[in-house]
């Protein structure tokens, strides 16, 4: 097996605009800028932004990638490489300052429809030893029904090899939305991932199906014997939590070691939560949101035996992607959450006091629908947009 070499990169291309999360994006021309500081992973930006004064620090937004489709996930490899998932079904890689003209081969068939497609990408905590890359995506049956899969594979040059399907949602459904889906490893090497309610809200309360849940597996797909519902005839062994509407942000909290998520509410009621084994997060029995047409889902916002969110957003911010800032490059933001937003099109900063959000800031509005947010090993924070761009936040 060949491993990827150290790279930096950027792309020059006209920025596309999109009106909704399900828009398709056309490919445009690209050119490569020369390698330069700052930033180990990206070269001279396509567009260097003007100085922006946020509440705490002055920054510039360097657009370091543009012209792709919806960049749903990003993975920064230890050797300096970067993997990007395009929701329409392409896995992209950059080497030696160049986006490879051909996408990575060896992907399974991707069902890129509605909110589905090629979604998250992450690497194994021991990637340097084992080379495992993990991908989540929607697939379909011959009859055209959709389901979520989790796969791992190794990179060999420009192809994926040693493919293993670790999880497959069943049964497949006709719904084309609420797939979730983020993947995170915890400090013990367990793999967590999310699936939304798939548009059938009551599934989130039913333990005999995969909709509206967070799941926990070993890194090879085996089910941990201490999962909270193992052995129950009325429940699926993979389930870790339930009552989750559509989680599209998930992180490992670097101080507590717990898994945090945020999830889309309906119209209002987006939530920030800590995932704890076996707990019920309430959807749709309790919610702070209403139906998109203005009708009431439930009058209840709390109920015994169901968890309250750490924080909820009404009106909705439509959260996607999230990072807990630890980088010394942003001392004023350390311990904050940065969250992408889709509807209002900005980067959201949430200041924490333990498990309470005590202050919030809307930054860079309207930058576009922010899909993913990552802190790279070089210490810089990068976020991707549905316009097909990646931005680096460069503190002054």
Q: Out of 178, 264, 311, 348, pick the active-site residue.
A: 178
Q: Kindly report the CA angle at 162 between 373 and 123, in degrees rounded to 5?
A: 20
Alpha-carbon distances, residue 345 vs 39, 66, 258, 342, 369 (angstroms): 25, 17, 28, 5, 5
Identify whether 178 is a catalytic site residue.
yes
DSSP-derived secondary structure for 75-144: EE-TTS-EEEEETTTEEEEEETBEE-SSPPB--------TT-SEEEEEE-TTHHHH-EEEEEEEEE-TTS
Q: Kindly report the CA angle at 378 between 361 and 7, in degrees rounded to 5?
A: 125
Alpha-carbon gap, residue 294 to 291, rounded angstroms? 5
**Strand pairing class (183-185; 191-195):** antiparallel
Q: Where are the beta strands (DSSP E) in 179-328?
A: 183-185, 191-195, 213-217, 239-242, 247-252, 259-263, 270-275, 311-313, 319-324
Alpha-carbon distances, residue 106 vs 69, 156, 216 (angstroms): 20, 10, 26
**Alpha carbon of residue 156 to chain centroid:** 25
Alpha-carbon gap, residue 7 to 25, rounded angstroms? 26
**Strand pairing class (270-275; 259-263):** antiparallel
Which tokens hold the place of 123? 């690497």
Neighbours of 380 (CB within 10 A): 23
Which tokens hold the place of 347? 């980067």
What number of CA atoms fall less than 13 Å from residue 64's CA on the CB side?
Answer: 32
Residues annotated as catalytic are 178
């Amino acid at each position: 097996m060949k491993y990827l070499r150290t790279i930096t990169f950027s792309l020059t291309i006209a920025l596309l605009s999109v009106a909704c999360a399900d828009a398709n994006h056309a490919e445009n021309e690209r050119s490569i800028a020369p390698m330069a500081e700052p930033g180990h992973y990206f070269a001279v930006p396509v567009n260097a932004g003007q100085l922006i004064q946020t509440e705490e620090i002055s920054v510039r937004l360097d657009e370091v990638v543009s012209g792709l489709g919806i960049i749903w996930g990003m993975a920064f490899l230890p050797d300096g490489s970067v993997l990007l998932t395009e929701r329409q079904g392409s896995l992209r890689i950059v080497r030696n300052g160049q986006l490879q003209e051909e996408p990575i081969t060896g992907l399974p068939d991707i069902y890129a429809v509605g909110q589905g497609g090629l979604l998250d990408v992450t690497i194994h905590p021991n990637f340097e030893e084992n080379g495992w890359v993990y991908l989540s995506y929607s697939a379909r049956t011959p009859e055209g029904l959709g389901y979520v899969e989790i796969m791992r594979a190794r990179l060999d040059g420009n192809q994926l090899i040693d493919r293993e399907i670790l999880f497959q949602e069943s049964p497949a459904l006709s719904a084309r939305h609420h797939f979730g889906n983020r993947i995170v490893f915890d400090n013990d090497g367990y793999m967590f991932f999310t699936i939304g309610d798939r548009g059938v809200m009551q599934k989130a309360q039913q333990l005999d199906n995969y909709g509206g849940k967070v799941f926990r597996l070993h890194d090879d797909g085996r089910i941990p014997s201490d999962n909270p519902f193992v052995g129950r005839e009325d429940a699926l062994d993979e389930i870790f939590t339930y009552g989750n509407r559509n989680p599209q942000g998930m992180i490992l909290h670097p101080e507590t070691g717990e898994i945090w998520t945020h999830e889309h509410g309906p119209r209002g009621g987006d939530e920030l939560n800590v995932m704890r084994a076996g707990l019920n997060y309430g959807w749709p029995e309790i919610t702070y949101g209403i139906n998109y047409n203005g009708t009431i889902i439930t009058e209840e916002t709390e109920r015994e035996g169901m968890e309250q969110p750490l924080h909820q957003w009404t009106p909705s911010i439509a959260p996607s992607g999230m990072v807990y800032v630890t980088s010394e490059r942003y001392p004023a933001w350390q311990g904050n959450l940065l969250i992408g937003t889709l509807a209002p099109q900005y980067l959201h900063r949430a200041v924490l006091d333990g498990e309470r959000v005590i202050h919030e800031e809307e930054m860079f509005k309207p930058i576009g629908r922010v899909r993913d947010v990552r802190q790279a090993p070089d210490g810089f924070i990068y976020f991707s947009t549905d316009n097909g761009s990646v931005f680096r936040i460069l503190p002054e």
